[in-house]
Amino acid sequence: MNEKIKKASRHTNQNEGLIFEKSSPGKRAFELPPLDVPAADPAKTLGASHRREGIEGFPEVSEIEVLRHFTRLSTWNYAIDLGMYPLGSCTMKYNPRVNEFVARLDGIATEHPYQPQELSQGCLKILRLLEKCLLEITGMDAITLQPAAGAQGEMTGLLLIRAYLEKQGNPRKKVLIPDSAHGTNPATAVIAGYEVENIKSESHGQIDVEKLRDLVTPDVAALMITNPSTLGIFEQRIPEIAEILHAKGALLYMDGANMNALAGVTRPGDLGVDVMHLNLHKTFSTPHGGGGPGAGPVAMKKILEPFRPVPTLVEKESGRLALEPVRPDSIGRVKAFAGNFGVLVRALAYILAYGPGVRQATEDAVLNANYIRKHLEGVFDLPYSLPSMHEVVFSDALQKKNGVNTMDIAKRLIDYGFHPYTTAFPLIVPGALMIEPTESESKEECDLFIAAMKSIAEEAATNPQIVKTAPHTTRVRRLDEVGAARKPVLRWKPVTTRSEAAD
């Protein structure tokens, strides 16, 4: 490694087995207060056939062992709290700690979804204010906060479109999806009962508007578009695209995954979008937590409002807020209870901290992406040259000549103390390096990242082997994914005794 490069971190490599391997009968980490009612005899009252014996293999450890076990595991993770996380399309920004604090308050975390609504006005006001803020940011007319994640938001959005078209007499058959789209788009369209027709992007990576004109037939229910696209490029002709669809009675769905490029600068509602979802764990900073929980509110135009999932939040004449469980044209319920409330609380805390200043966050995110692009252009191949918004997509074409691909570069980045960028996506860029720094990175951190990328490019030319076998400094080396998939081991099992092994 180039000695001049300052590493952003070093990894801690403590050894730790599985918790089940530490277990020893009779140890415990949790005690309950003594039972203050007569003990009922389960064998009698429950019936012997329902009674369970102790769970075989269930852990028996002490509190310090539990704490130490999970703390050690935690040291094997990279995290935003440790450094830059330039995963394109994932918007890994700072997760403010105050959001965690307020989500755990007594009176917030403790509330039961079935408690009387007169004792839930605080919860409902939080939901109401979040609705208003998100409507203002998106320029839409109505919203549902219920979907549990972006993918469920997408499904909800498509079901709204379907219900609206059905009400007009014909749900139609097809959903158009650009080839640059995220894989959830087509998967969701199928779940909503639609056939998928892929549209090829034009040479600049934008939607081919002329081709679209021909593709929008009376069979087409909607176009699902990501804006900015997964190339990090704003779809400049989006108002025209909306007009083409609307003229044929079809609707425009926008995947809001990249809203971090737009918040406070422009509004999808003004651009002609009919319905969109937001990933609160991206733009609105709720923690990814290693892969969830998220929340995927869906904002829409007035025409889709009657079809919103139940329950819907309404304001009574008295000024009281209420969740209404029944609406005649609703697409139904997409999740039990009223959404991932705890995630919604965190998103509102984030928005309140910024207020209208959310625009500054957007500007800084775009500034960072363009700063990195400027410094890495020429070092890495830039297949699409239109202006970048919040992320930039390079390809590994220059490094491939030396047998180094995007995954190798990504893995080598780990040795420099960074999380890799997104590899091999979008699909329309072979060997893609998709970099999204977000607004949370200082100039210093961006410079470190740029230096690391340049150094890796140099290594790819002079010492490709070190890149191809990376990472070298992590607790584990590259893992055998083929073996894992051929002979899946998906759970721990107690060591088998001889009699068990015999049958």
Toward other proteins, which CB reaches closer, 310 or 451? 310
Q: Whole-number minimum distance, CB 462 to other proteins, in Å?
A: 23
Q: In a 10 Å sphere around its CB, with 0-12 CB exposed, 13-18 middle and 19+ buried, how is residue 328 labelled? A: exposed
Amino acid at residue number 470: A
Toward other proteins, which CB reaches closer, 340 or 399? 340
Q: Whole-number minimum distance, CB 62 to other proteins, in Å?
A: 9
Residue with tokens 């469920």: 152
Toward other proteins, which CB reaches closer, 493 or 498? 493
Read off the tokens for 463. 């010492």
Toward other proteins, which CB reaches closer, 218 or 357? 357
Residue 50: phi and psi, rounded to 5, are -90, -15
Strand-pair partners of 220: 174
Toward other proteins, which CB reaches closer, 61 or 398? 61
Q: In angstroms, rounded to a whole number, what is the distance separating the alpha carbons of residues 254 and 266?
A: 14
Task: Give DSSP secondary structure letters for 135-146.
Answer: HHHHT-SEEE--
Toward other proteins, which CB reaches closer, 40 or 247? 40
Pairing state between β 251-255 and 275-277: parallel
Q: In angstroms, rounded to a whole number, what is the distance separating the alpha carbons of residues 218 and 210?
A: 17
Cβ of 491: how many Cβ atoms within 10 Å? 7
Q: Whole-number minimum distance, CB 460 to other proteins, in Å?
A: 19
Read off the tokens for 172. 């139609």
Q: Is the peptide bond between 34 and the residue preceding it cis, with omega within 30 degrees of 0?
A: no
Q: In angstroms, rounded to a whole number, what is the distance separating the alpha carbons of residues 247 and 444?
A: 49
Cα of 17 vs its chain's centroid, Å: 30
Toward other proteins, which CB reaches closer, 487 or 498? 487
| Alpha carbon distances (Å) from 236 to 233, 239, 408, 429 | 8, 8, 34, 20
Cβ of 476: how many Cβ atoms within 10 Å? 8
The SS3 call for residue 218 is coil
Q: Whole-number minimum distance, CB 340 to other proteins, in Å?
A: 4
Toward other proteins, which CB reaches closer, 212 or 358? 358
With beta carbons less than 8 A apart as the criterion, state whether 388 and 423 touch.
no
Toward other proteins, which CB reaches closer, 11 or 454? 11
Q: Whole-number minimum distance, CB 20 to other proteins, in Å?
A: 7
The SS3 call for residue 228 is coil
Contacting residues for 248 by C-beta, under 8 A, at least 6 apart: 216, 217, 218, 220
The SS3 call for residue 227 is coil
Strand-pair partners of 196: 175
Q: Whole-number minimum distance, CB 153 to other proteins, in Å?
A: 11
H or E element in which residue 184 lies: helix 184-191
Nearest one of 259, 260, 186 to 224, comparing CA atoms: 186
Q: Whole-number minimum distance, CB 18 to other proteins, in Å?
A: 6
Toward other proteins, which CB reaches closer, 325 or 403? 325
Q: Whole-number minimum distance, CB 9 to other proteins, in Å?
A: 10
Q: Whole-number minimum distance, CB 417 to other proteins, in Å?
A: 10
Toward other proteins, which CB reaches closer, 80 or 461? 80
